[in-house]
Amino acid sequence: MIVKHLVASLVLGSASMFAWCDDPVPEIPAADVERLLAAIKPQQGESPWREIAWLTNVTEARRKASAENKPLVIFTAADGSPLSRT
């Protein structure tokens, strides 16, 4: 078992050496920066969940849902922190 892990580590290590590249990353021309930023940002309507005024306080969310007679959606992550506050 240990030998298999050692061999796998050596193979992956060797493969990563061949993947190394000395070519520099090309500069992005200043004239293209704004166009590229606009292209990679989410477009209107592309991610409708981003347009919702989400609440991060559960007590406040419960009060609002109750007052508006709406369901409450609670999202959590595996580490219990949906807002990446670990």
Does residue 31 lie in a domain region?
Answer: no
Mean pLDDT score across all residues of the chain: 77
Does residue 6 lie in a domain region?
Answer: no
Which structure tokens are listed for 66?
A: 């109750």
Does residue 27 lie in a domain region?
Answer: no
Which structure tokens are listed for 84?
A: 């990446």
Does residue 21 lie in a domain region?
Answer: no
Structure confidence by residue, pLDDT tens digits, 8-25: 555 555 555 555 667 788
As a whole number of angstroms, the distance between CA 60 and CA 63 comes to: 5
At 81 the pLDDT is 65
Closest alpha carbon to 27 in 18, 19, 36: 36
At 14 the pLDDT is 56
As a whole number of angstroms, the distance between CA 33 and CA 41 comes to: 12
**Which residues neighbour 16 within 8 Å (Cβ) at sequence distance 6 or greater?**
none
* Number of domains comprising the chain: 1
Model confidence at 45, pLDDT cuts 50, 70, 90, reads confident
Does residue 77 lie in a domain region?
Answer: yes
Say if pTM beats, i.e. exceeds, 0.75.
no
Does residue 85 lie in a domain region?
Answer: yes
Range of the domain at 51: 47-86
